[in-house]
A and B are shown apart, each in its own frame.
Chain A
């Protein structure tokens, strides 16, 4: 029999099919191969490549973007934060060396100096040829202390007649260009002569240019014929080094050309973040029928919602920040309610007292018996809250730490998704009802309300742009934004939010 003929320990059926089918071969129809070829066409290949190499693509995109951005910054020469004085009109520069062609002046100015020759301060006292005052590269050196303290702090002042009291501006420095200026006083501050902004480049400013000034400047110095003699050129700094010469018209904003001193204050940063929160919540009921409200209050117990959200906003250098976002909070808690069932039983008792055929007394007694039964209803109530907050705050930064306060308001859309609620029944009591069966009772199920929040911020900078923050918060519902007679729930939430915030680097 089949059960005993196989001795290899396998079930005979298994053995039979294994022997017959394990090496079975079959030729699929041609349509199968066509389908495979079609599906592995170019579109599929592209999707496959995208799926496989999306990380690499993203990395390349980021690198490319960063490189472009860096090049863009280099092109700007860091002007965004530099305190600059506009160059004096070019006519003034021309008058420096009267009778000398402008092109020659520029060529002379751009002539490389020996490497070991330090750049000295440029005297603001007119000497020698008594020419008209002109703006100097040194006048343009001044940078905000916050931007480049090493440079600005060591810059010798040449603001002999500068009208601006601000230390970051060296407006209207006058300088007479003389041959003596080419052998300046020695000073240990190497970068002091590096023009931070557009400054008229004349023979008088020749000491400002150094051999390491950059390939373009060196090239122009070597071949002055390349320069247009009718144009005054300005040295353009890139990260503290002079690398080229520009025409004034290329220098950018009209204010700079107009000669008005201006200062670009540091701007705020945009940020975005993700956060999660754990809370302890108690809810109270407001409005509507008083009995129902009290019954609903009795069903409430403290519970512990969890939330996740995203936020974005703006932070100013003063420490203030404003943000908004969206947060989804979900919670569940045990619902318990004793439904009261009242049974009323009415009995009529007749008492008749008779003597012979005469009825002496006929009494009807009605007895009403009321019995009350309590049936406990149990359910797991689930609800979600969608919060759209607007929060303002202030933060102070100490080293890598941030601390501050915040406050704000939020629109909260509370939806009970499952469980029981209470409903008034005709007998006057409040009975537990499955929430899905009471769509008409919008109050218990959905509420839109305005809530307020206060909190403390504590953060730690993980990197230049990434901050890990912890925010203990207290939030409370303030008022309902829709008006219906139903009672509605008002949450009171104490909890802690933990989030990561990324500050978008400012150009």
Chain B
């Protein structure tokens, strides 16, 4: 569950706060858990909702980062295979709040845009645009990461 919090938080301290808040809610609501489903899934849902509430309190806004200029270039697949969990987490955490929220909910949790719009209180179109921008930003950073990685390999070979 801490990994879930890390995905939604900007940094570790925030993730710890979310973890704490979420676990307290889990303990508080444990009595309402019906034993007919996955406990892990139930806890995970609570954690995700805790994270969403946390960002809703911070007045989730449509963020603009001038990504319209970022080219939508493909990235070398082989380099991506070498990306570990830590690198992926770092890339997600570096996303702006709104992008990160929508990307996490859509790409990893599997919610659709209508659900995301309802959960975070924005329009469906906003959710789509945030997701597109999040993807482009990740793609750009992945490219940078792969380039840096390739450069380091070449340097080490010499």
Q: Is B107 an interface residue (CB 8 A)?
A: yes
Q: Is the CB of B20 within 8 A of A32?
A: yes
Q: Is the CB of B85 within 8 A of A24?
A: yes
Using an 8 Å CB-CB cutoff, how does the interface string of B27-65 with A read, 1 for contact, 0 for none?
110000000000000000000000000000000000000
Assess A21 versus B74: contact at CB under 8 Å? Given A14-B106, A26-B3, A28-B16.
Answer: no
Q: Is the CB of B16 within 8 A of A20?
A: no
Q: Is B101 an interface residue (CB 8 A)?
A: no
Of the candidates B7, B19, B108, which one forms a contact with A28 in the assembled complex, judged by CB atoms under 8 Å apart? B19
Q: Is the CB of A21 within 8 A of B24?
A: no
User: In the assembly, what is the distance between CA of A460 and CA of B107, in Å?
Assistant: 60
Q: Is the CB of B77 within 8 A of A11?
A: no
How far, in Å, is B104 (CB) from chain A's closest CB? 9
Q: Is A354 an interface residue (CB 8 A)?
A: no
Q: Which of A1-9, A63-71, A94-102 forms contacts with chain B?
A: A1-9
How far, in Å, is B143 (CB) from chain A's closest CB? 10
Q: Is the CB of B135 within 8 A of A13?
A: yes
List, in ascending order, chain B residues with CB within 8 A of A351's CB.
Answer: none
List, in ascending order, chain B residues with CB within 8 A of A24's CB.
Answer: 3, 7, 85, 88-89
Q: Is B116 an interface residue (CB 8 A)?
A: no
List, in ascending order, chain A residues with CB within 8 A of B89's CB.
Answer: 21, 24
How far, in Å, is A79 (CB) from chain B's closest CB? 50
Q: Is A25 an interface residue (CB 8 A)?
A: yes
Q: Is B92 an interface residue (CB 8 A)?
A: yes
How far, in Å, is B39 (CB) from chain A's closest CB? 16
Of the candidates B6, B74, B107, which one forms a contact with A18 in the assembled complex, judged by CB atoms under 8 Å apart? B107
Q: Is the CB of B106 within 8 A of A40?
A: no
List, in ascending order, chain A residues with CB within 8 A of B142's CB.
Answer: 13
Interface size class of A (residues with CB under 8 A): 20 to 34
User: In the assembly, what is the distance between CA of A44 and CA of B21, in Å?
Assistant: 13
Interface size class of B (residues with CB under 8 A): 20 to 34
Assess A32 versus B19: contact at CB under 8 Å? Given A2-B80, A27-B2.
Answer: yes
Assess A13 versus B106: contact at CB under 8 Å? Given A1-B74, A36-B23.
Answer: no
Using an 8 Å CB-CB cutoff, how does the interface string of B69-90 with A read, 1 for contact, 0 for none?
0000011110010011100110
User: In the assembly, what is the distance between CA of A494 and CA of B23, in Å?
Assistant: 56
User: In the assembly, what is the distance between CA of A15 and CA of B139, in Å?
Assistant: 12
Using an 8 Å CB-CB cutoff, how does the interface string of A298-337 with B read, 1 for contact, 0 for none?
0000000000000000000000000000000000000000
Q: Is the CB of B107 within 8 A of A17?
A: yes
User: In the assembly, what is the distance between CA of A20 and CA of B90, in Å?
Assistant: 12
Query: What residue in chain A is nearest B85 (Cβ atoms)?
Result: A24
How far, in Å, is A52 (CB) from chain B's closest CB? 9
User: In the assembly, what is the distance between CA of A2 and CA of B81, in Å?
Assistant: 11
How far, in Å, is A209 (CB) from chain B's closest CB? 57
Of the candidates A5, A14, A28, which one forms a contact with B2 in the assembled complex, judged by CB atoms under 8 Å apart? A28
Q: Is the CB of B103 within 8 A of A36?
A: no
Q: Is the CB of B3 within 8 A of A21?
A: yes
Query: What residue in chain A is nearest B22 (Cβ atoms)?
Result: A36
Q: Is the CB of B24 within 8 A of A14?
A: no
List, in ascending order, chain B residues with CB within 8 A of A32's CB.
Answer: 2, 16, 19-20, 23
Q: Is A425 an interface residue (CB 8 A)?
A: no
Query: What residue in chain A is nearest B79 (Cβ atoms)?
Result: A2
Q: Is the CB of B108 within 8 A of A21?
A: yes
List, in ascending order, chain A residues with CB within 8 A of B122's CB.
Answer: none
Q: Is the CB of A21 within 8 A of B77?
A: no
Of the candidates A14, A21, A35, which one forms a contact with B85 in the assembled complex, judged by CB atoms under 8 Å apart? A21
User: In the assembly, what is the distance between CA of A31 and CA of B19, in Å?
Assistant: 11
Of the candidates B5, B75, B103, which one forms a contact with A17 in the assembled complex, judged by CB atoms under 8 Å apart? B103
Q: Is the CB of B74 within 8 A of A2?
A: yes
User: In the assembly, what is the distance between CA of A74 and CA of B4, in Å?
Assistant: 64
Of A2, A11, A29, A31, most buried by chain B (CB within 10 Å of CB) is: A2
How far, in Å, is A126 (CB) from chain B's closest CB? 77
Of the candidates A14, A22, A26, A36, which one forms a contact with B135 in the assembled complex, judged by CB atoms under 8 Å apart? A14
User: In the assembly, what is the distance between CA of A262 and CA of B133, in Å?
Assistant: 89
Q: Is the CB of B20 within 8 A of A3?
A: no
How far, in Å, is B142 (CB) from chain A's closest CB? 8
How far, in Å, is A32 (CB) from chain B's closest CB? 5
Q: Is the CB of B138 within 8 A of A17?
A: yes
Of the candidates B16, B19, B88, B135, which one forms a contact with A11 in the assembled complex, judged by CB atoms under 8 Å apart? B135
Kindly list 5 other residue pairs between chains A and B, CB separation below 8 angstroms, not including A13-B138, A26-B3: A13-B107, A13-B135, A17-B138, A21-B89, A36-B27
Q: List 30 A-B contacts (CB under 8 A).
A: A1-B74, A2-B75, A3-B74, A5-B77, A11-B135, A13-B107, A13-B139, A14-B103, A14-B108, A15-B107, A16-B83, A17-B103, A17-B108, A18-B107, A20-B83, A20-B88, A21-B3, A21-B7, A21-B92, A25-B2, A25-B3, A26-B2, A28-B16, A28-B19, A32-B2, A32-B16, A32-B19, A35-B16, A35-B20, A40-B24
Shortest 5 CB-CB contacts between residues of A and residues of B = A14-B107, A28-B2, A24-B3, A1-B74, A26-B3
